[in-house]
Chain A
Amino acid sequence: MNYNWNWGVFFQETPDGGTFYWEMLVSGLGWTLAVSVVAWLIAMTVGAVVGTMRTLDGKAPVLFGHAWVELFRNIPLLVQMFLWYFVIPEFVPPLKHWMVNTEPVFAQFLSAVLCLGLFTSARIAEQVRAGIQSLPRGQRLAGSALGLTTWQSYRHVLLPMAFRIIIPPLTSETMNLIKNSSIALTIGLAELTFRARELGEYTFSFFEAFTAATLVYVVIAMSANRVMAHVERRVAVPGLIAAGGGGH
């Protein structure tokens, strides 16, 4: 194929002077990680609450949890991103006021974090629910036989078990979240993919820029995998098939 590779492009200075092109990608990576971390915290917290609600006895919490999951699962993430950035502020005047007056990047960051956090929370809620429902009924019963309140049996018995069981699907949701953070470029947030394209447009070295971004994403995916595999081994529930090794 006719393409002149120019890997030196990363070490050229940007037109603004003083910085190099590789620094653009690093700053993009910074935003990708920042968005992912904050959104992940939101997703885990809300996901644990909503997933738990779906396993409670009452009708209302189950229905609410169900509606929550279906709402976020059936609208494209891109459209949700537009809703958080362009539409919801119109209905919340103080938010709109803040978004207009602050630095654009903060408004973009807030929208992206809420969008990705709540979208992912719906997916994590499904995993948490599946995790809780995979536990033998006896655990819940034993909890109440010991005199634990509903809150206590969730806090000390069910959730710790459920979370340890669902670590593999949580790992893939975490990776999905990191990949999905690239959609924030549609509202102008200068994360990694945004920066890669920008670098390509400035220098016409599109493929070098995309290759670099691809490598970074692959490295992130591999390290996330490693970290989660380590966590999985550390907290494995003794006696389950997943724990493997040892035992008898």
Chain B
Amino acid sequence: MRISLRAAALASVAVLAAAGCSGTADPTTTGGAGPLAGQSLEVAGTWSGTEQESFQQVLDAFATKTGATVKYTSGGDDLAALINSRLAGGSPPDVALIPQPGVVNEFARKGAIKELTGEAATAVAANFSPAWQQLGSVDGKLYGVYFKVANKSVVWYRTDKFAEAGVQPPATWEDFVKVTKTLADAGISPMAVPGGDGWTLTDWFENVYLRVGGSENYDKLSRHEIAWTDPTVVQTLQLLGQYWGDAKAVQGGAKGAVQLKFTQSIADVFGEKPQSAMLFEGDFVAAEINKLGKVKVGEGAKFFDWPAVNGSKPAVVTAGDQAVAFKDSPAAQQLIAFLASPEAAKIMAAKGGFLSANKNLDTKAYPDPTTVALAESVVKADLLRFDLSDLTPQTFGGGTGASMWRLLQDFLTNPADPAGTAAKLEAAAKKDFGGK
């Protein structure tokens, strides 16, 4: 029998072929003359597509200014996994823009990231408010600068659908529920909930929780200093459960929602064949609406601030990508200093879909009044809190399969038992937060 030998060979070739089809071409910007001429830097981030293109222009500007060669690597949703494996292999990127402070904390404690000193520290002190500096510090040492921030307390809606049902943007939770009901009565699916991406559900939770539990409890919960079985958590889940549990309120019902990806949900609301009237997610939805090009942001697509619960004060859940240095090189520090400057923020602000926490950035840099309004609510908010799930350990709130993502997806599918879900969250938190 010769065939079997050939079979084995063929099989191994096939496996190799299947395994070998990966790898992406990463864009590289080659610098010219300058103080960093000949040096090369690698920057890793989660951005891809339009955001990557815009960020590339910022890197280009840095390259032109300093002469360094900058390469951008996109890690997507699994950026932390990428950096971890690169760290394990001993070749981390020079600088990374990490969206989860929890991950940054872990890196800082392990000594993987370097404290910002000199030029970088000066730039951060000059351009950012103490609150943002605080968010970029671990144990009192400055490690990161928030280059991009998000306003995650807005609900986007189609003006035509609202007009058809004759409803106005709600200001309170009761109105919000009423608007939802009226839309459903008009035969319009009110809300797209992209439960296929667990992080969107954590944002729902955080917005309600910040208003139900208040800032103090919010901070405590993020550090697991109060239990997830706390009455405020249960009450939050009850409100969410009542909303999500109404099959008329959620596009496709719970079963459909849990299959719906975030990008698809934007197309389902603001695309060619609109299915729903509202979509909750951060300011970055605007860029995607523009990309679809079916309705104009500010005309066909508008936003309202997250409704107040029981008379709560205006509050904003924010998020952001924090630039941290994995190498203690002058080039890395210079790049971070550049990212902290209004100059870098201005380049990306002009592209749209970008908000900066840089207090020295002129709001004229933003392309339209909607973006200005979104940015101002972040800069001027009385109550500003960082996305809670991103503050928790990675296994709890920071990635695909994370406990909070998973449990909220399960809750969306079956919202009958808020107390039970709270108990499961607490059990997961006990495990994921370690000894705390």
Are A and B co-members of a single complex?
Answer: no
Interface residues of A (CB under 8 A from B): none
Residues of B near any A CB (own CB < 8 A): none
